[in-house]
Every structure is written in C-alpha cells, then in structure tokens.
Amino acid sequence: MYLTVKVIKEDFIMKLVNVAIFTFPNDAAVLESILSAEKIEYFLNNTDSAIIVPGSGATLSVNEKDLQKTIKVIKEAGFEKNLLTDSL
C-alpha cells in the first residue's frame, strides 16, 4: 500500500510504503531503535495501546527509496514474520 505525504518542513513529496505490522508495541520499539541507528526515516502509526487488537497493529511505513534496506534490516532483526507480503 502506498501513501503520499507532504513533509512541510522540507516541502517535498515522499512516497511511503507500508512495510510491516506489529501486534506488540515493544516489538515496534525495538525496530524503531534499529531503524534510527541505520538512519532510516520511518512512520509508525497506531501505537496508542499496550496490546493492539488482533487483526490490527502498529503499521511501519518508510520512504519508498528505503524499502529494500528496511526489509533487510527487519529480516536481520528477526521480525520477518511482521513483514507485509505486498511490500516484498
């Protein structure tokens, strides 16, 4: 799934791709730390509760240009089961 978001501070259009979904916010937090260390910009949505309702989850989105690098990082971190199949 693709989203188009306008980033106001830099005034350019970025094409975002939903890459993974996390049932537990703690898993998402671990990956956030890794992505930050790798200098990959990301957006994590729906992280307001301690346990997310099954069938939904915290969705990780990244810039399309970072998609392949992000998939590699997710796999190396052991979160391959969280990848969305349409992002592969």
CA distance 23 to 57: 5
Q: Within the chain, which residues score under 50 in pLDDT? A: 1-2, 4-8
CA distances from 9 to 12, 13, 45, 88 (A): 9, 11, 20, 30
pLDDT of residue 54: 57
pLDDT of residue 28: 86
The third-level CATH classification (topology) of the domain covering 2-87 is Alpha-Beta Plaits (3.30.70)
pTM (predicted TM-score): 0.76
pLDDT of residue 1: 46
pLDDT of residue 46: 73
pLDDT of residue 4: 47
> Please, how many CA atoms are within 13 Å of residue 54, restricted to the half-sphere of its CB?
0
